[in-house]
Structure 1
């Protein structure tokens, strides 16, 4: 018997290293997906050719009878309102990348776009551990620090479509140089790149033995730092303590602005688990206004990297529902 076609959305998650695409139904089931290298240092025209090839390959997957209702895209510095990536760090694609228009040339469907952290927040709201929550903040602690804010079950996008850039609130005036052009941004301290910088500062200021002395800056990852900390490496442990102190303080500031029910942590730093979350909670609590103490929860996302397309898929399903 011939099966009816399944309603799906095409979800695209663009990262500095890898791009993930997939077909996702309204229940968050990933029916088919592909992963390929973004090649962010090459021209955008190269990516466009590669993306079209991968989309065509995905849509030709045998065994799936589907109807694509729309397309959701999550990408760094993607503007919800303009459909462009604006000044994306770590990409050599120009100051304003016409991402929405480019995908529209490949496949003519309704397209919805937002930054990757916003998409992650929607993924948690509809398909992840934030089901049932109304107000929460997702922090993506990867190469940089992204954030997505959900208020009364709605994504906060702001007047110009770029709200929620908590990674670029200031920690120290004239502090560390940030790829955005400012100094002292939170993501230069609280991200995988940030903790690496802290590790190498600690190594240079100390003669203490450490597993981490065996790595160059480029070769060191958040995973190695986490594993060293779990083995009791003092340099790694101190790096997590310092990172948690800074991030926890700024999370307390965010609570004063938004009063979220919870923060949900994703990305490389979150993989350290309680080793990171416990000092983070302590730092946040120490900096909270009394009215908020003991009320704000901190969770580590259970969504794995390969499921990153659930964020842009959630965006597409949400927007389609609002239009109907």
Structure 2
């Protein structure tokens, strides 16, 4: 029998950090995104609850979001942050719709894809580490492809509502950022349910986003919680999420995160590790196939994972 001493677990955790570092983007990008200045959003825009989901109410909300983005664009331009200014200018396109926007500290936003007012199916996508306004394309592209798969009477919301950890950091192996994010996600989901009481709502949680979803899950009125590309959720099993939602899990065969040790190590200064692997039978989630893509490929065009996630959101069994 192999002994798993604390020292051995620590070595495996450090090894996991090296594995992560070998495939991650440079951390300088994440640091830069957080350092770009942006104005404080108007109090009414930052704290207003979701409106009644009529086209007129949503148009008004989207107009407020667009104004906040333009203000952040002007600030970025004055400070010479050309990349951020360019990204923000693209976001002001009148065909794009944002429920809220805050450009500070890397950025917080929720972009809507599809007609939310008439949607009977809604998927809320929670991104993982190193997602910010400067690296927003992956979240946006995946959300758009998912909407195409879902078809009519569907909407997708890309929820970048928290300060994501850097991929190459101990924060990505600890629950602190998720603890900060969970109350915000829980409030957003409850407001969404109030505004859309008859819709079938699914929570899609990628990578570190699965930790956020796990911390927010208790009591949420959603049909599904889908964990994909997850290193863990900080709980031992799906029952510990205290949710009536169906909990799904998947990992593609080409995802490097499979090499991250699924354990929790309690150190004097922190707890490192995210616990049980969600695709482990002992976790108790409904495991489905994701194909052979990499860690960032779950919502890629033509992928098995995209097809299966779309089927789950639609209330169908995965392939």
TM-score range, shorter-chain basis?
under 0.3
Higher radius of gyration, 1 or 2: 1
TM-score (norm 1): 0.27
TM-score (norm 2): 0.28
